Amino acid sequence: MEIQQETSVADSTASSLSETDVGQRPPLLEVRDLTKSFGGLRAVDHCSFQVEQGTITGLIGPNGAGKTTVFNLMTGFIPPDSGRILLGGQDIGHLRPDQIFARGLCRTFQIPREHGTMSVLENLMLVPPGQSGEHWWNALLRPGRVRAEEARHLDKAREVLEYLQLTPVRHEYAANLSGGQKKLLEMGRMLMADPQIVLLDEPAAGVNRTLLQSIVRNIQALSRERGITFLLIEHDMNMVMNLCDPVIVMSEGRKLAEGAPDTVRGDPAVLEAYLGGQYAAAAG
C-alpha cells in the first residue's frame, strides 16, 4: 500500500464514491433484526441498520444501549442469537473474528490492545496475515521469499508511521505511549490490513485535545483519500456532530433514530435522552 500515492486504486474508488449518491448503492455493512441476550438481559433487541460505503457513520446512545455488544457481534467475538450480519451482501454472522478480519472488517477497542513489550514498529509488522515467516520450513527452504516479504511489510509499516506522524516513536515500547498515541497505533495496525470498513470504539476516550484533532483528521483523510468506511461509537457529541454523517442512535438494544447530524440533534427524544441541554437551544 502506498500511503502517500494519490493515484492509487483506493483513491479512484473514493473519487467515484464522491460522484455517486451514497443512498443508491447497496450498503457495505448491514445488520438485520439482530438479537443477543445474556441470561435474562436482552442486550440487543431486534436491531437493524445499515452502513453505506464511503461514509463516516456515528453510533451513539447511553451506556447499556447495546452499542459495544453490536460491535462484538459484527466482528465475531460473540455469536448472535438470531438475525443476520452482512458484509458486502455476504452473511458473516457465522464466521470467526480472524475470518471477518481477513474480509476487510477491522475494529479498535475503547481500551487499546497493543503488544506493550514490543516496539511500535513491531506492532505494525505483526498485522499482515499469512506471512511466510510464520512457518519454520519457509525460513529454512525459502529464506529469500521470507526476506522479500518482510522488506515489503517494513516499507509499508514505515509509510504508515509517517502518515500517522508516529515515526519519532517507532522504536518505543508500545506500553510507553500516551493514550492518544496508542489510539493512533491501533489505526496504524488497521492500515496494515488494508480494510474496507473500520469499527472505532470510542476513539476520543482518554485522548488529549491535540491528539484527538490528529485522530479526527486521519479519519477524515482515510475516508476521503482511501475510500475507507468508518462506523464509530463515541460519547463526545461535538466530535460526532462534526465528523459523522449519518448518525445512528441506539436505545435499549434497538435503533431509536437515524439521520444527518442536524436531524438527530433536533429530534426531541434524542435531545432528551442522549444529547442534553447543550443542543436544545441550537435545535430550537
Burial class for 19, CB neighbours closer than 10 Å (0-12, 13-18, 19+): exposed
CA distance 167 to 161: 5
State the chain's maximal CA–CA distance in angstroms. 71
Burial class for 199, CB neighbours closer than 10 Å (0-12, 13-18, 19+): buried
Mean pLDDT calculated for residue range 278-283 = 44
pLDDT at 130: 61
Domains and CATH numbers, the chain: 9-114+195-283 (3.40.50.300), 117-176 (no CATH)
pLDDT at 266: 82
CA distance 237 to 242: 8
Q: Tell me: the pLDDT tens digits for 113-155? A: 888 899 999 999 888 766 655 555 665 666 666 667 788 888 8
Task: Give the count of alpha carbons within 13 A of 47, CB side only.
Answer: 35
Residue ranges of alpha helices (H) inside 75-196 are: 97-102, 120-125, 136-141, 143-163, 179-191
pLDDT at 267: 84
CA distance 256 to 284: 21
**CA angle, 259 then 264 then 270, to 5°:** 130
Q: How confident is the model at residue 37 (pLDDT cuts 50, 70, 90)?
A: very high
pLDDT at 76: 95
High-pLDDT (> 70) share of the chain, %: 80
